Chains A and B, each alone.
Chain A
Amino acid sequence: MDAESLLLSLELASGSGQGLSPDRRASLLTSLTLVKRDYRYDRVLFWGRILGLVADYYIAQGLSEDQLAPRKTLYSLNCMEWSLLPPATEEMVVQTSVVKGRFMGDPSHEYEHTELQKTSEGDKVFEEEVVVQIKEETRLVSVIDQIDKAVAVIPRGALFKTPFGPIHVNRTFEGLSLSEAKKLSSYFHFREPVELRNKTLLEKADLDPSLDFMDSLEHDIPKGSWSIQAERGNALVVLRSLLWPGLTFFHAPRTKNCGYIYVGTGEKNIDLPFML
């Protein structure tokens, strides 16, 4: 959610039950402004909160002019002092996929994972048990990246693509209409498109290249991994991800207000197919 409309966005996203306490809100309002100034970001988003056992991580992201360019992620433990996280790499994701369980809340905590590695000495092949240390910071980076790639949402029409390449915020976005707001096809993944190229020419013919340049949520696997609800009698549409429980996307139809926030334990819900 945009740091500029933080209070309103928190209010609208409160249907999931998790929000921020007043002191955190006040700290965020101050510190995010400072972050924007210091790092010279175009837009700062408050991404959410990852609940750890000892402490919680508060995550913010900074965007440059091009909305789909890789974002800078910052984390903080007290909503005041922000530290920049390194960008996520594939290696990190693979490495941290073996770590299970909750986040500790201490960025320097190291998870130990024993692996069997084969080492060859001459003709013989030994299997050794190697203990690999994985830092919690790495895990944090990869989890945030995975969540962003999987479930960050933006409504159709909120961004548009100029012929020169960069993607801008659409200042004339007036919100989705009510009938559109209830369909999953009006929401896109806020990331570089993956499925778009695989569409047939017939499907592509109906798309508008300036608006439909991202994947829509319609074809997400498993089907039904999004819960779409209208609260307050259609005055607010809330999408909740079932794959990463804790991610809430809200949009007030016919207005510009939209945004998403993640408040959760940072664990994927692998049991989803059984639960639907």
Chain B
Amino acid sequence: MGDPPPDPETPPHQPSSRRSSQASQRRSWELSQPQPTISEDGPEIPLDHPTNLQGWSPGAPLTPQENLMFQAEEGQLGGVEYPSLNMGFPSELQYQPYLEEGGIQATRNASLMLQQLQQGQGNLFQQLDSAYLDTQPGFLGQFNMYQGEDLQFHQGAPHGPYMRDDPALQYSPSELGFMPFSMEVPEPEPRELAVQNAKAYLLQTSVSCSLSLYEHLVNLLTKILNQRPEDPLSILESLNRTTQWEWFHPRLDTMRDDPEMESTYEMADRQKGLFLRSGAGAEGEQEMEEEVAETAVPNIMETAFYFEQAGVGLSSDESFRIFMALKQLVEQQPIHTCRFWGKILGLSRSYLVAEVEFREGEEEGEEEEMEEMMEGGEGLEAHGEEEGEEDEEKVTDIIPKPMWKAPPVIPKEESRSGTNKYLYFVCNEPGRPWTRLPHVTPVQIVQARKIKKYFTGYLDAPVISFPPFPGNEANYLRAQIARISAATHISPLGFYQFGEEEGDEEEEGGAGRDSYEENPDFEGIPVLELVDSMANWVHHTQHILPQGRCTWVNPLQKTEEEEELGEEEEKADEGMEEVEQEVGPPLLTPLSEDAEIMHMSPWTARLSCSLCPQYSVAVVRSNLWPGAYAYASGKKFENIYIGWGHKYSPENFNPPLPAPIQHEYPSSLDIMEISDPTVEEEQALKAAQEQALAATEEEEEDEEEDEDEDLED
């Protein structure tokens, strides 16, 4: 419960010293306040009490000294009126003089009562201890100090009035001969009964736990006395709370693992693996030489440094970990070039994206497998439909075939070209395994433009949206990466140039050049010029056409598969649509040609540090894709994206409305759809019919009348 009990030998000395001059003892006691721990003083003293007090006769041999005590004590009383915790010490002192003055006359009684009242029951409990040796001396000893609690209780106790009238209180109960070995159990006085009740109340366990107030206060005060914080009163409530908490959450044994920290340690272990070299020992030197040569891993730290000048980027230790993770990726996969593309934030986890290019000839076996699986799946589905139709056809009714034709699927671009020029690997945190993202299809890009969804952080999460996105989060992520790359990857003018092998642009059908190479003669553009004009920056990724591809493909072009299906249907289609060729800005167009967003330039360029323009870098920030940054300084430049992965739009996002309901049946002679007549129309028709009927009746009547007239005539 608190501390281990202090040296029990010191207290026994105290009683003997008490018998010596009390005045000096008191002073020395005051001085020695900080040293003795209270926890054991208490029990020791009361045990000695009876013997101690036996030495004092009920008479007043020390009256003058007592008077001195008393006066000094009164002064002390006056001084220590606030029932603070520090009263623990004075209480000890005070009970001493009280007990010394056991034989004080009645005139002192009032002050004694006052003293008692002010000190609360500390003294009384001391007497109680002496009277009744408790089984828990430890508790009671510490009970001395609970002035505040006891004071309040004491003053509200109903036994208050008894004190003034009880003549027996001239003498301390212990002096009345309560000996530990007394045969009879004396009848407890009302005050002591009250005291016992109070203590029993304090020992009562709380409703919500098995802790009693008494124990809690013991813990609290022990803790305070051990730690000796500055100004304990102001943090009393917090300490109270902490002590309570600690009671129920004992410190774990050192041999046991903290269950909460499991995942932290696991992550640290995994990241430790990043830092260790795979080879060891003698191979170390060889590896060094290999590594010093060209490695596919870029200098992430340098990039991070430059971006830090711009106020962008992750912290340096995070960047280093990313560097090690990329290195691990390079070792695992046959990678030719590699670049840290950026970080996309998600709801539960984020993605670190690496842009890589495989070595020549390293065909992605996985990719083909995935395609085969998909095609196989489609074949099965088609087969299923056919079977279904056959079954139904056996039934008498012939179900009309749906007239809706899916729009022609635009073939996706080949690897290493257009939107699929690079391969992307993602991981959630450095140290976790890298996952490859599938290639993007044009329809995915088209749909991605229409929706706006947050990434959850799990690649296989479904993307629930309208219009429905064909794919899961991995596809959506890949589509967004493709859009961001196409829109925001820029470089200083002149860094890249076109190769000279290409023929005329016109021959390629207006598709434009789609490859570039580094310009060996690039001299670098001064930073100030880069910041001033956007014409000094160019896009070096192809623009994505509305179709979803970088190079246009006529969807109605006949391919071999379509010819097999049937020529009749196609002839019908050809007449209906003519698709225009989509053209986008060619490669390496300067940024000044970019469209504005609501009178706002889509790019913001700054110097990284206005205080020292000589050493600044030029930083360009995209306003269209918040989070895309590029820097350039001298001959170096780099792009990065850190953000949520969404485009900026000044207007609210409006999801497209659902398509109109299609016609169920074509209008033909058999089935003709007309709307039902409305009530008004029917009534009008009825009225018209009645009119017509009435008209004919009238005519008949007229005729009859005529006939009658004729007859009459």
Q: Residues on A close to B: CB < 8 A?
A: 11, 14-24, 51, 53-54, 78, 100-102, 160, 170-172, 177-179, 210, 224, 227-235, 240, 242, 245, 264-265, 270-271, 274-276
Selected interface stretch from B85-93, B260-268, B372-380: B260-268
Give the contact-size bracket for chain B.
35 or more
**Across-interface contacts of B648 in A (CB, < 8 A):** 265
A178-B260 CB under 8 A given contacts A23-B609, A227-B347: yes
Interface readout for B380-418 with A: 1 if CB under 8 Å, 0 if not? Answer: 000000000000000000000000000000000000000
B511-522 contact mask (Cβ, 8 Å, vs A): 1 or 0: 000000000000
Which residue, B263, B350, B646, has most C-beta atoms of chain A within 10 A? B350
Q: Are A17 and B312 in contact (CB under 8 A)?
A: yes
Also in contact, A234 and B261, with CB within 8 A (given A101-B598, A270-B652): yes
CB atoms of A229 and B309 under 8 A apart: no
The answer to whether A178 and B261 have CB atoms under 8 Å apart is yes
Residues of B within 8 A of A102 (CB): 600, 623
Chain A nearest CB from B238 CB (Å) reads: 4
Residue pair B623, A171 in contact (C-beta under 8 Å) = no
Number of A-B residue pairs having CB atoms within 8 Å of each other in the complex: 122
B504 CB to nearest chain A CB (Å): 41
What are 19 inter-chain pairs, A to B, with CB distance below 8 A?
A17-B314, A19-B311, A21-B308, A22-B309, A51-B621, A53-B601, A54-B604, A78-B610, A102-B600, A160-B238, A172-B239, A227-B345, A228-B348, A229-B348, A229-B457, A230-B263, A232-B267, A265-B648, A274-B655
Known interface pairs A22-B308, A172-B242, A275-B453. Does A210 touch B650 (Cβ–Cβ under 8 Å)?
Answer: no
Is B441 among interface residues, defined by CB-CB distance under 8 A? no
Query: Is B349 on the interface with A (CB-CB < 8 A)?
Result: yes
Minimum CB–CB distance for B645 against chain A, Å: 11
Look across to chain B and name the residue whose beta carbon is closest to the beta carbon of A17: B642
**Which of A17, A21, A234 has the most C-beta atoms of chain B within 10 angstroms of its own C-beta?**
A17
Docked-complex contact A53 and B642, CB < 8 angstroms: no
- Cα A21 to Cα B235 in complex, Å, equals 39
Query: Are A271 and B235 CB-contacts (below 8 A) given A11-B315, A19-B312, A24-B311?
Result: no
Contacts of B350 in A (CB 8 A): 15, 229
One of A21, A160, A232 near B609 (C-beta < 8 A)? A21
Known contacts A172-B239, A179-B260, A233-B268; is A18 also within 8 Å of B308 by CB?
no
Contacting residue for B642 out of A16, A227, A235, A271, CB 8 A: A16
Known: A18-B312, A23-B609. A233 touches B600 (CB 8 A): no
Known: A14-B313, A178-B260, A233-B266. A210 touches B655 (CB 8 A): no
How many angstroms from the CA of A242 to the CA of B345 in the assembled complex?
11
Tell me, rounded to whole Å, the shortest Cβ–Cβ distance linking B109 to chain A: 38
Closest 3 CB pairs of A and B: A233-B267, A17-B642, A172-B238
Partner of B345, one of A16, A235, A265: A16
Measured in the bound complex, the distance between the Cα atoms of B350 and A46 in whole Å is 26
Q: How far is the CB of A65 from chain B (nearest CB, A)?
A: 13
Are A234 and B263 in contact, with the CB atoms below 8 A? Answer: yes
> Which residues of B lie under 8 Å from residue A11 when comparing CB positions?
315
